[in-house]
A = this chain, B = another copy of it.
Amino acid sequence: MKKASILLAHGSSDANWLAPFATLKQHIASQLPSDTPLEMAYMELAEPSLLATVEKLVRQGHAHIDVLPLFFAAGRHLRKDVPNMLEQQQQQLTQQGFSYHIELHPPIGQEPEVAGAIADIVVRQLS
């Protein structure tokens, strides 16, 4: 089964906001096996959009897609908007004959390693 992954950020109309995500995506991709597709996508206000990226991967034949949110916390966007968007899209693509599983992971900012790294930085900056 072909698998692919998407790093999801909120998105912004400000190019200064977007730039670090491209850098982060390159850093992560360099540590993955070369046959593991990794895409950067945005929920709103920036391209490529999450839905366009999912559709591209599905049409390429990926049957499992992991969506990893680069968010600190899950609010309305990650608990409602994004699941609804993905579900509606999946209904449409299923009607077109595509079959895939898509998994929306918890926000990465809540993983203990990230919280720990933030704590370390703050403690160091304030010491």
Contacts and interface: CB of A to CB of B under 8 A. Distances in A.
A90 interface: no
B125 A68 contact: yes
A123 B12 CA distance: 26
B126 A17 contact: no
One complex includes copies of this chain to the number of 2
Which of under 10, 10 to 19, 20 to 34, or 35 or more describes the interface residues of A? Answer: 35 or more
Interface of A: 3, 5, 7, 9, 12, 14, 16-21, 23-24, 27-28, 31-32, 36, 38, 66, 68, 70, 72-76, 79, 105, 107-111, 113-123, 125-126
List of 7 A-B pairs having minimum Cβ-Cβ separation, nearest first = A17-B75, A14-B75, A113-B117, A117-B117, A20-B73, A28-B119, A17-B73
